[in-house]
Structure 1
């Protein structure tokens, strides 16, 4: 459905105001919209999977693997690795 002239002009004014505000803050919306490189996504998903596998291996081996001297701390290590991967998702576009 075609837009009326008043809707078009109001839309243009809001876009202009948003652009001025971005310029005042030193924020470049076009630079922000660049996609992430492939290696970033591979590392992000890899860390989440490695963390999950670390925890699964600990439970399956009944504490003998992956690092026996850590004991129950293996769960913390596994969750830590996975959380790093999940934190990386905040930059994913």
Structure 2
């Protein structure tokens, strides 16, 4: 039975249209950590103060506000290089 021809693979080259991702600015990491810590502090303060702080009029919506801030920090974390 005849053997098939062996194909030579071309060397891989990145396409010329691919964008090179730049590293983040120097302020990005401290800003991301600050946002994460503010969100954590918001939720912890709400629980420790039994709902009296940070905004008493918001009631349990303080939990949503704290987690919203935390999610903003997590979204920033996905963009960190």
TM-score bracket relative to the smaller structure: 0.7 to 0.9
Q: TM-score, normalised by structure 1?
A: 0.72
- State the Cα deviation string for residues 48-92 of structure 1 (Å, max 9, x = none): 100000000001110000000000000000000010000011111
Show the 5 A alignment for 1:1-93. Answer: 13-14=11-12, 16=13, 19-20=14-15, 23=16, 26-29=17-20, 32=21, 34-93=22-81
Query: How many equivalent pairs are there?
Result: 74
Q: Which runs of 5+ in 2 are unaligned?
A: 1-8
User: What residue ranges of structure 1 are gaps of 5+ in the alignment?
Assistant: 1-9
Instruction: Give 1:42 deviation, angstroms.
Output: 1.1
RMSD, aligned CA: 1.7
Q: Which runs of 4+ in 1 moved over 4 A?
A: none
Q: TM-score, normalization: structure 2?
A: 0.81
